[in-house]
């Protein structure tokens, strides 16, 4: 017998409507102004994110000044050029859309909270190994909060853009003073959102059986190194920049 309390399919459907329609777009309607309440609704959702030790190692800086958005976009374009010169073959999007994104929020992570997670804090070799795990706890915590923010923006009807490609430490150091961010914090993500310039599209997803198994890992789902290399070579650019029906 199904317990109605745990079978609230209407709520599930409402959630899935948001989850499945959270779509990345990289160019927004630049004439639109995000109402202040929307920033608050979005970050209220982020505030409820779960985190290791309930440390909540995040902070959100809403960027409204066009000159700051422009500076950030310029930094990205420079980094992109730098990567191209290094021969990094990552298919880079056009970061100019960042300058005109109606909504732009910087996510700052406080990595000092690593010591709030299970670590020895004695600098030993064992401590280092625990620290690797603690860093993963911190990254997953911040991602959980950021995801809540993205879902809230999607629920409001916006297209979203999750950007992590801030690159190396030096780039961070250039930008931090512009927003008065203390050295102890790191800009880990940039969240852009707004009405899309052109309609968003649904990107490829692996089918459920390809990512799911019961009790024992299904080896059919295991990718060899060669398969991953092949995927990067032939598919990655398609799954990033084409809709799900046009990947093959």
Ligand X SMILES: Cc1cc2nc3c(=O)[nH]c(=O)nc-3n(C[C@H](O)[C@H](O)[C@H](O)COP(=O)(O)O)c2cc1C
Residue numbers of the site for ligand X (CB under 6 A)?
23-24, 26, 93, 162-165, 203, 240
Q: What tokens appear for 54 in the block?
A: 């309930």
Q: Quick one: 119 or 192, whose CB is closer to ligand X? A: 192
Q: Quick one: 55 or 165, whose CB is closer to ligand X? A: 165
How many Cα atoms within 13 Å fall on the side-chain side of residue 214?
Answer: 0
As measured in angstroms, the least distance from the Cβ of 205 to ligand X is: 8
The answer to whether 181 touches 108, Cβ cutoff 8 Å, is yes
- Residue showing tokens 């915590």: 141
Contacts of 11 (CB under 8 A, 6+ apart): none
As measured in angstroms, the least distance from the Cβ of 5 to ligand X is: 31
Q: Quick one: 130 or 162, whose CB is closer to ligand X? A: 162
As measured in angstroms, the least distance from the Cβ of 165 to ligand X is: 3
Contacts of 174 (CB under 8 A, 6+ apart): 75
As measured in angstroms, the least distance from the Cβ of 143 to ligand X is: 6
Q: How far is CA 156 from CA 27, 45, 170, 242, in A?
A: 18, 12, 35, 24
What sign has the CA pseudo-torsion 88, 92, 135, 123? positive
Residue 54: how many other CB atoms lie within 10 Å = 8
As measured in angstroms, the least distance from the Cβ of 147 to ligand X is: 8
Q: Quick one: 120 or 186, whose CB is closer to ligand X? A: 186
Contacts of 129 (CB under 8 A, 6+ apart): none
The answer to whether 113 touches 18, Cβ cutoff 8 Å, is no
Q: What tokens appear for 155 in the block?
A: 């629920």
As measured in angstroms, the least distance from the Cβ of 214 to ligand X is: 26
**Alpha helices (H) along 48-111:** 66-86
Q: Quick one: 41 or 165, whose CB is closer to ligand X? A: 165
Q: Quick one: 24 or 100, whose CB is closer to ligand X? A: 24
Q: Quick one: 116 or 240, whose CB is closer to ligand X? A: 240
Q: What tokens appear for 240 in the block?
A: 């990033």
As measured in angstroms, the least distance from the Cβ of 23 to ligand X is: 5
């Amino acid at each position: 017998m199904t317990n109605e309390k745990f079978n609230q399919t209407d709520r599930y459907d409402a959630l899935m409507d948001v989850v499945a329609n959270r779509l990345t777009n990289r160019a927004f309607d630049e004439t639109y102004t995000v109402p202040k309440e929307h920033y608050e609704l979005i970050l209220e959702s982020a505030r409820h994110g779960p985190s290791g030790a309930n440390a909540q190692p995040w902070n959100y800086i809403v960027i409204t000044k066009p000159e700051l958005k422009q500076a950030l976009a310029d930094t990205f374009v420079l980094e992109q050029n730098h990567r191209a010169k290094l021969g990094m073959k990552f298919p880079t999007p056009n970061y100019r859309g960042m300058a005109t994104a109606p909504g732009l929020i910087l996510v700052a992570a406080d990595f000092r909270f690593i010591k709030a997670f299970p670590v020895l804090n004695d600098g030993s070799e064992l401590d280092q190994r625990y620290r690797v795990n603690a860093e993963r706890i911190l990254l997953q915590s911040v991602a959980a909060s950021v995801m809540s923010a993205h879902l809230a923006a999607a629920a409001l009807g916006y297209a979203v853009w999750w950007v992590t490609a801030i690159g190396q430490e030096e780039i961070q150091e250039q930008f931090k003073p512009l927003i008065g961010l203390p050295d102890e914090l790191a800009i880990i993500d940039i969240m852009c959102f707004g009405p899309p310039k052109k309609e968003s599209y649904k990107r490829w997803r692996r089918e459920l059986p390809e990512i799911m198994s019961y009790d024992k890992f299904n080896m059919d789902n295991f990718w060899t190194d060669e398969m991953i290399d092949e995927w990067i070579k032939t598919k990655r650019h398609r799954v990033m920049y084409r809709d799900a029906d046009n990947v093959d």
